[in-house]
Amino acid sequence: MPKVGMQPIRRQQLIKATMAAIDEVGLAEATVMRIARHAGVSAGIISHYFGGKDGLLEATMRQILSALGEAVAARRRELTTTSPRDHIGAIIDGNFDRSQVTGPVAKTWLAFWASSMHKPELARLQLVNDRRLYANLCYQFRRVMPRDEARTCARALAALIDGLWLRGALTLEGLDSDEARRLARDYLDRLLDTRDTLSPS
């Protein structure tokens, strides 16, 4: 089997196997042997291509987050308007993109999120992603309301999106992405109604 140019193939194979293993038994019991078995290779190969288990986990999280960012960016590129409502809607849709909310990805995402509380490297990746979402939302809200109110709306909508993800990852049936999108967009509509309830105290 040994051919040249295996590196990108094996890396992708192992990242996919990592998500499958975490989906199956959770991060705590996703051992290198189990991951390697999922990929049909030996355990030693993980250290060879990722320097160790931590390297593989970090690469997996990085892939999930970058795919998430790309899903959002793609939807926004397709927009023809500059309306804040449409842009925020695209951000919502991107966050509930089909490829992001399937069982393995969602469960791995939640596992990493919990793990990032105590692993600095994962926390860094998570923070970058979080800041991007918040900044995007904030910028769009800012166009139709005062600064402080925009910030509050951005935090609220981001929390709802995360909450829907969280619940989707836990329920056995997985996330109903259509309903999640509907709920988030309805919340957006209500936030854009000028009612000024959320003006800062």
Partner DNA sequence: CTTTATTGATTGAACGTTCAATAAAAAAAT
Partner DNA sequence: ATTTTTTTATTGAACGTTCAATCAATAAAG
Select 41 or 125, whichever has its Cβ closest to its own copies. Answer: 125
Of positions 114, 128, 146, 148, contacts its own copies by CB under 8 A: 114
Angle in degrees, 0-180, between the axes of helices 120-142 and 84-95, rounded to the nearest 10 = 150
Restricted to residues 92-111, the positions that interact with its own copies (CB under 8 A) are 107, 110-111
Q: Which of DNA, its own copies, none interacts with 186 (beta carbon under 5 to 8 A by kind)? A: its own copies
Are 101 and 177 in contact by the 8 Å Cβ rule? The answer is yes
Query: Residue 44 touches which of DNA, its own copies, none (CB < 5 to 8 A by kind)?
Result: DNA
Is 128 an interacting residue with respect to its own copies (CB under 8 A)?
A: no
CA distance 170 to 121: 25
**Mapping DSSP to helix (H, G, I), strand (E, B) and coil, where does residue 158 land?**
helix
Residue 172 in the binding site for DNA (CB under 7 A): no
Examine residue 11 and tell whether it contacts DNA (CB under 7 A).
no
Q: Minimal distance in Å, beta carbon 31 to DNA?
A: 3
* Alpha carbon of residue 146 to chain centroid: 29
Give the interface segment with DNA, choosing from 6-14, 88-96, 143-151, 168-176 (CB under 7 A).
6-14
Report the phi/psi class of residue 171: left, alpha or beta, with left for phi > 0 and alpha for psi in -120 to 50.
Answer: beta
Interface pick for its own copies out of 13, 70, 162, 174 (rule CB under 8 A): 162
Is 42 one of the binding residues for DNA (CB under 7 A)? yes
Residues 40-69 that bind its own copies (CB under 8 A): none
In the bound complex, what is the minimum distance in angstroms from residue 8's beta carbon to its own copies? 30
Q: Using CB under 7 A, pick the residue from 20, 22, 32, 68 that binds DNA.
A: 32
Window contacting its own copies (CB under 8 A); options: 22-30, 49-57, 61-69, 84-92: 22-30
- What span, in angstroms and rounded, lies between the C-alpha atoms of 96 and 102? 10
User: 26: number of CA atoms within 13 Å, CB side?
Assistant: 5
- As given in the structure block, the two tokens for residue 7 are 């590196």
Residue 154 lies near its own copies (rule: CB under 8 A):
no
Half-sphere exposure of 52 (CA within 13 A, CB side): 1
CB atoms within 10 A of CB 125: 18
State the helix-helix crossing angle for 177-192 and 147-170, rounded to 10 degrees.
160
| Interacting residues with DNA (CB under 7 A) | 1-7, 10, 29-33, 40-48, 52-54
